Structure 1
Amino acid sequence: METLQERTETYREWKKQLKRHYRKFAGFAKEAYRYEDVEDVHQARVHCRKLLTLLKLLDPDDREELRVPLRRAFKALGKVRDSDVLIADFVQRKEDAPDGDTAEMLKRYLKLLRDRRLRYVAKLEKRLRPALRGKFRRRWDDYLNGALQEQAAAVDATAQLRRLEAKLEAKQAELRELAAQPDTSGLDLAETLHEARLIVKEIRYVTSEADFALKPLPGGALSFLPVKPLQEELGALNDSRVRLARWQDANPEALGIDPDVYRRMTDRLRGEMERRIREVSLANLDERD
């Protein structure tokens, strides 16, 4: 059982982490809607996700109603960030295009992506403001100095981490069942692996941002899973999944090009995604060191 001094120290650690990530989120977010540096969007989103992870541990039912404006901000930042990543990828593909028809097609597709990104950026300030303005900040400060103390004393972060690990193992079993079915498509597998990726990312943030509240396993590790390499593998796969899905949102008529040229690019993107699926080691976790 924790002593009063230990409870006080634990509360201070939670408060320090929450204050740090909110300060960073708010700072990057204010720069993000000016949209002068794509890294501001990325960093605002990272710290927003870390805040959401910590608050989910402390207040699973969101009784303090702090997560809703942060989730909306996270979603808006994600749309811009995904657009940034897609545009950078297709700019490189245009430069490496094997022929003029492909280069012209990608030039037109990039215009579609940039126009879409402009719409997302235009909405960014409106989506971020509720998590930055004075009303939210007052509630935030009240939470840090009030309800957080009780939540910090009550939370069992280790138990929640073990539940996340069990959830990932269940997703692993689901993947094996899907892979065994002959009619399972690459997109079906990629979507399930995307769901696994979100769990892996949550596990990683719990172990990195709430390590002070976790009981280590024998040997000192906080999780029995190889979280960082899994996250990298699944992140690369997710990029290929999103790339294919967004490409298929367009069509030859919208791009004004030969359907055969469009089909070749579709096949190339699908092949890249399927190769990423084969490279993911999630289905072989038991064989990893």
Structure 2
Amino acid sequence: MDNTSLTLQIDGMGRFVIPKEMRDALGFEDQGLVINSLSKRRGISISKASANTAKKNTKRLDVDGRLLIPAQFRKELGWVKGKELELEIEKDYAVLQESPSRCIICGNKKQLLEVKESFVCEDCLSTANVVYIERWQKGLDKLVHQYKSYCEQALSFEDGKDLHQARVKGRRLETILFFIGVGKDHALIERIQEAHDRLGKVRESDVFIDSFKKRAEQEEDSSHAQVYRQFAELREEKREKHQKKLAKNLPEIIDNRFMELWEQFKTNELRNYLLPLKIDERLNEYEQTFKELTQTFNEEVTEKGKNDKSSLKALHSVRIKAKALRYICKYLGDMYGKPYKKKAKQYKEVQRNLGDINDLRDFLKEIKQNQKKVDVSKQQIQQVRGQLNQELVELLESFEVKELTMTS
């Protein structure tokens, strides 16, 4: 009957019942029994007394097969009424010990690893790691293929949305790779960043041109409309040059070699980043940085006002971190559910509000840098700049600082 075990509890007097089949197997009936502490486990051993054992050092079972655990052992081990213990036969003696740790998944008692106050056996942990890594591989693989597809479609320049999506997917991919610990000097990151720079020059032109053409159409003052149209036309010339460079260079950046690098990373490197990753701790680091950047902005506003250069610079840093957190939480939300999705929505709202402010700053910068290249008067340009600057001031004033305070 080796390796037979059962779980039981001690009563208020410190007794427990040894089942008859165990008593018979060990020959405990009508025998003096010796109780000793276990050296490496929290428990006691129970064995038949030898002929030389003094009677005062032995215990006997009562008529119901119960054995009284001496008070000294109960006190030493902290065993009280209701304590759950495990009784097990080992060779020719019994062992009573605290219920050993078990794998919370399969119940195995061997090869256990402690994980956040619970135990998981190595087999289950290995299986869980495989599932965990495969989940991330699947999510990132989908993002990589979407990115490559949008990069290819963007080169038709027929739909600005494709180019925008290529840029967004690339930024999301880069952000997630940074989140898991991939460095800036990794070959994948270098290619994504190079492509992002190329895509960005065209995308920024698209945003500027679309906005200024729309303003020209809606502008009641014809002289102001003329300014918007001329700056849009000037930017169209730049966009055409950037499009040609993009068409030439992007296929050499996001190409088959890029996909080979991705497959190598996915197969050989990704697990090395994921296994030590503590997702919530890592996310907390990002959120702590966001809070610190927010605090810096608040301090700049208090000291210099919202429209000061240093305040706007601090606000831009907040926007960049909000965007990263939005991408991270969106990705985690797709894999793990609501708590992360809720955060993604919060950061998206912050990013959207700050994006409008950033666009106006870019518009003003564009006008200042190129005002000598358009055929309109200085007065017209000053009036349009004043108009845009007033919009910026109003946006900044309406932007509540409390919007930057995220909830966990």
TM-score (norm 1): 0.89
SS of the aligned residue for 1:61 comes to coil
Contact kept in structure 1, 2:216 and 2:224, CA below 8 Å: yes
Counterpart CA distance in 1 for 2:344 and 2:254 is 37
1:4 alignment partner, one of 115, 126, 131? 126
Structure 1 residue 162, shift from structure 2 partner: 0.9
Q: Which amino acid aligns with 1:148?
A: L
**Post-superposition CA distance 1:154-195 (Å, at most 9, x none):** 222322211111111111111112112247744433332121
Distance 1:176 1:38, change over 3 A: same
Counterpart CA distance in 1 for 2:314 and 2:226 is 34
Contact kept in structure 2, 1:158 and 1:215, CA below 8 Å: no
Distance 1:257 1:47, change over 3 A: same
Deviates more, 1:97-106 or 1:9-18: 97-106
What residue is the counterpart of 1:274 in the other structure? 393
Q: Which runs of structure 2 are paired with 1:1-289 in the superposition (5 Å)?
A: 1=115, 3-62=125-184, 64-182=186-304, 185-211=307-333, 223=343, 226-251=346-371, 253-283=372-402, 285-286=404-405
Q: For structure 2, list consecutive stretches of 5 or more residues without a partner in the other structure.
A: 1-114
Structure 1 residue 125, shift from structure 2 partner: 2.8
Contact kept in structure 2, 1:186 and 1:274, CA below 8 Å: no
Contact kept in structure 1, 2:195 and 2:254, CA below 8 Å: no
Q: Which amino acid aligns with 1:85?
A: V
Distance 1:191 1:127, change over 3 A: farther
SS of the aligned residue for 2:183 comes to coil
SS of the aligned residue for 1:271 comes to helix
Structure 1 residue 62, shift from structure 2 partner: 4.4
Distance 1:121 1:279, change over 3 A: same
Structure 1 residue 247, shift from structure 2 partner: 2.0
Distance 1:79 1:221, change over 3 A: closer
SS of the aligned residue for 1:154 comes to coil
Counterpart CA distance in 1 for 2:290 and 2:215 is 34
Number of equivalenced pairs: 286
Contact kept in structure 1, 2:326 and 2:345, CA below 8 Å: no
Q: Which amino acid aligns with 1:255?
A: V
What residue is the counterpart of 2:17 in the other structure? none
Task: Select the structure that is richer in strand.
Answer: 2
Distance 1:100 1:215, change over 3 A: closer
Counterpart CA distance in 2 for 1:18 and 1:149 is 13
Counterpart CA distance in 1 for 2:177 and 2:272 is 13
Deviates more, 1:121-130 or 1:32-41: 121-130
TM-score (norm 2): 0.64
Counterpart CA distance in 2 for 1:122 and 1:174 is 41
Q: Which amino acid aligns with 2:395?
A: R
Counterpart CA distance in 2 for 1:39 and 1:213 is 26
Structure 1 residue 65, shift from structure 2 partner: 2.2
Looking at CA atoms only, which structure, 1 or 2, has the larger radius of gyration?
2
Structure 1 residue 37, shift from structure 2 partner: 0.9
Counterpart CA distance in 1 for 2:336 and 2:179 is 12
Counterpart CA distance in 1 for 2:231 and 2:160 is 20
Structure 1 residue 200, shift from structure 2 partner: 0.6
Q: Which amino acid aligns with 2:327?
A: Y
Task: Select the structure that is richer in helix.
Answer: 1
Counterpart CA distance in 1 for 2:178 and 2:355 is 22
Counterpart CA distance in 1 for 2:406 and 2:284 is 20
Highest relative contact order (Cα 8 Å, sep 6+), 1 or 2?
1
